[in-house]
């Protein structure tokens, strides 16, 4: 586990910086920003991704399932002068209704969240009620087969946290490796749960076609923009010549999608 995973204020700051540089411009390109935008983040964690939207004058809502992350967000925003434009809910998104949060939104976004959600087809149906007719929804996620698509970097065991691709083994083999390297039963359970919900580029695109979403923009990253803030690596888009179905999942470290609902 890296220091940023233990130091939540550092993680909050890194999220804010990366979203300010890359996610915010990606989403707002082509959107009418003359009006005050309503923005919803699903799986907002401590709220670091929402800060750049608040700074541009957006009315922001965040929904977070984890009580610990929700409480951290309350602490981090306690003295923030922009907090009057932020509402946070500690709820499962399936239990939230648009009426509860003031109607549909101009921007809905999920950053590194869809790969944690079970029954993704059902979720994409549920999501539509939160998107205004002219609104957009943004997804950023690591394809399951990328080097750390299993999120093993959060492991408390140093060797596991540094081993790429081990999550791509068949589950019994992966579980055995985790046990041999000393993972706790609780950690193993969490990592194996991710093996159930991790999503590939092909799976994601199949779901959005089935649910009648239109791709407004998409970018596959060879070097994730997050890595500039975390490690100092310059972001690199994946050249089209390497965007080969199935194979691209192994070396695409992040996929960005900006979607609309088909009329």
pLDDT tens, N- to C-terminus, the chain (263 residues): 455 555 788 889 999 999 999 999 999 987 877 789 999 999 999 999 999 999 999 999 999 999 999 999 999 999 999 999 999 999 999 999 999 999 999 999 999 999 999 999 999 999 999 999 999 999 999 999 999 999 999 899 989 999 999 999 999 999 999 999 999 999 999 999 999 999 999 999 999 999 999 999 999 999 999 999 888 999 999 999 999 999 999 999 999 999 999 76
Locate all alpha helices (DSSP H) within the chain, ordered by sequence: 3-6, 8-18, 24-28, 51-55, 67-76, 120-127, 158-161, 171-180, 185-197, 201-210, 226-231
Q: Are 117 and 65 in contact (CB under 8 A)?
A: no
Report the SS3 class of residue 189. Answer: helix
CA distances, 170 to each of 141, 174, 175, 196 (Å) = 22, 6, 9, 12
Which pLDDT tens digit goes with each residue over 13-24? Answer: 999 999 999 999
- Closest of 171, 256, 260 to residue 222, by C-alpha: 256
Model-level pTM? Answer: 0.93
């Amino acid at each position: 586990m890296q220091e940023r995973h233990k130091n939540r204020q550092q993680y909050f700051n890194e999220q804010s910086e990366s979203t300010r540089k890359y996610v915010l411009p990606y989403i707002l390109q082509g959107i009418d920003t003359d009006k005050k935008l309503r923005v919803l983040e699903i799986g907002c964690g401590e709220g670091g991704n929402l800060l750049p939207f608040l700074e541009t004058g957006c009315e922001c809502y965040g929904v977070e399932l984890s009580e610990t992350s929700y409480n951290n967000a309350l602490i981090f925003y306690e003295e923030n002068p922009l907090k009057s434009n932020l509402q946070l809910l500690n709820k499962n998104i399936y239990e939230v209704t648009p009426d509860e949060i003031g109607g549909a939104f101009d921007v809905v976004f999920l950053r590194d969240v869809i790969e944690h959600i079970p029954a993704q087809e059902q979720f994409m149906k549920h999501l539509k009620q939160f998107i205004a007719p002219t609104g957009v929804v943004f997804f950023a996620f690591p394809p399951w087969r990328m080097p750390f698509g299993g999120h093993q970097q959060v492991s408390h065991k140093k060797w596991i946290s540094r081993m790429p691709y081990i999550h791509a083994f068949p589950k019994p083999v992966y579980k055995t490796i985790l046990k041999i390297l000393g993972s706790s039963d609780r950690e193993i359970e969490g990592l194996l749960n991710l093996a159930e919900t991790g999503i590939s580029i092909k799976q994601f695109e199949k779901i959005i076609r089935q649910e009648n979403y239109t791709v407004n923009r998409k970018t596959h990253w060879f070097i994730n923009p997050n890595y500039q803030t975390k490690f100092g690596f310059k972001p690199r888009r994946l050249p089209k010549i390497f965007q080969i179905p199935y194979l691209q999942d192994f070396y695409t470290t992040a996929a960005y999608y900006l979607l609309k609902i088909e009329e």
